[in-house]
Amino acid sequence: MEFASDNTSGATPEVLAAVVAANAGYAASYGADQWTEAAQEAVRKAFEAPQAAVHLVATGTAANALSAAILCPPWGAIYSHEAAHVEVDECGAPEFYIGGGKLVLTAGTHGKITPEGLAARLARTPQGDVHHIQHGMLSLTNLTEAGTAYRPAEVAALAALALKAGIGVHMDGARFANALAATGATPAEMTWKAGVDVLSFGASKNGAMAVEAVVIFDPAKSWEFELRRKRAGHLFSKSRFLGAQMGAYLQDGGWLAHAAQANRMGQRLANGLAALPGGRLIHPADGNIVFAAFPRALHVRATAAGAHYYLWPFDQTLEGPGEEEVTARFVCSWSTTEADVDRLLEVLAG
């Protein structure tokens, strides 16, 4: 009953097998090996972007922060949602790698920035006056931190505002595969065709051990990225193991099948949580993340039975009337089974 995060899951058998296979013999270092090159080619193919630059790193925070560094000047605003990982969960890494920058946050229900909200934010940052921060970049998360998915048309509407403001668009795709599975969009439709310039293409949460690709659709910034990655200590000498993971992740559409499984389990869980006595969903569960409210007594019982998930926000009290509502976040992964979901629902229902 492990629903704390999709990063509590293991790696898929095919990823592990590929790492073991890549271990045989010697290989060129620092990304000049055949596994890294094959992975870069596989990413370009998946995105129908033969010109894109693809660089591997080992964490999503590195992918996001290094992407920010090539998009945003030190005096720039990073427009993002107030719940965004770049704001809440990266210990200031984007600003650190940018060498400045300033997160400028917008609200927006269910984890999504709206065109109105972004336009208002852009308008409130006067340009060309030396006293003010300048427009820097837009960062969108898809799947969002609220578990909802932007459709390509929604991405395009926001990207159009960014383009008008003369800034680049970053997508934090730690759960990119789940967003595709939720919307049916192709990788290209969700990114460069909708105006995304740089994607943090996550794999770790959906079945890799530790690899994410930064996909730079206009390769003009590729060399700068390489310099920044090295300087940040994120260029791996034994890059073949990163390449092997990413190659195996993409092989035969496995990544999309795993995300579809995680999303199906999310849907099953969402239906069950909404049907609990006193249960309701907080956000539409488009993918593998489910936010729900239910009576505290259910939470106390499920936790005692060994269920793992986060109360969200974290600081809710366990003391108090059992019928009072608590709110919680559940995340399913590629390895979540129907039996896992049903067992959790059973202990919650009592």
What residues form DSSP beta bridges with 212? 57, 202
Residue 21 Cβ vs ligand PLP, minimum distance, rounded to whole Å? 25
Of the pair 36, 59, the CB lying nearest ligand PLP is at 59
Of the pair 59, 125, the CB lying nearest ligand PLP is at 59
Q: Which long-range contacts (CB under 8 A, 24 or more apart) does 327-330 make?
A: 327/282, 327/291, 327/292, 327/293, 328/291, 328/292, 328/293, 328/294, 328/299, 329/289, 329/290, 329/291, 330/3, 330/269, 330/273, 330/289, 330/290, 330/291, 330/292
What residues form DSSP beta bridges with 158? none
What residues form DSSP beta bridges with 53? 216
Residue 64 Cβ vs ligand PLP, minimum distance, rounded to whole Å? 6
Of the pair 70, 348, the CB lying nearest ligand PLP is at 70
> Closest-CB residue for ligand PLP?
60
Measured CA to CA in angstroms, residue 152 lies from 159, 179, 185 at distances of 10, 10, 7
Residue 56 Cβ vs ligand PLP, minimum distance, rounded to whole Å? 13
Measured CA to CA in angstroms, residue 164 lies from 76, 192, 232 at distances of 16, 16, 32
- 302 vs 348: CA distance, rounded Å: 5
Of the pair 52, 199, the CB lying nearest ligand PLP is at 199
Of the pair 95, 145, the CB lying nearest ligand PLP is at 145
Residue 55 Cβ vs ligand PLP, minimum distance, rounded to whole Å? 15
Residue 246 Cβ vs ligand PLP, minimum distance, rounded to whole Å? 14
Residue 68 Cβ vs ligand PLP, minimum distance, rounded to whole Å? 12
Residue 76 Cβ vs ligand PLP, minimum distance, rounded to whole Å? 20
Of the pair 31, 60, the CB lying nearest ligand PLP is at 60
Contact residues toward ligand PLP (CB under 6 A) are: 59-61, 64, 85, 141, 145, 172, 174, 204-205
Query: Are the beta carbons of 294 and 273 closer than 8 angstroms?
Result: yes
Q: Which of 187, 188, 251 is nearest to 38 (CA)?
A: 251
Q: Which of 212, 203, 88 is nearest to 139 (CA)?
A: 88
Query: Are the beta carbons of 278 and 323 closer than 8 angstroms?
Result: yes
Of the pair 64, 183, the CB lying nearest ligand PLP is at 64
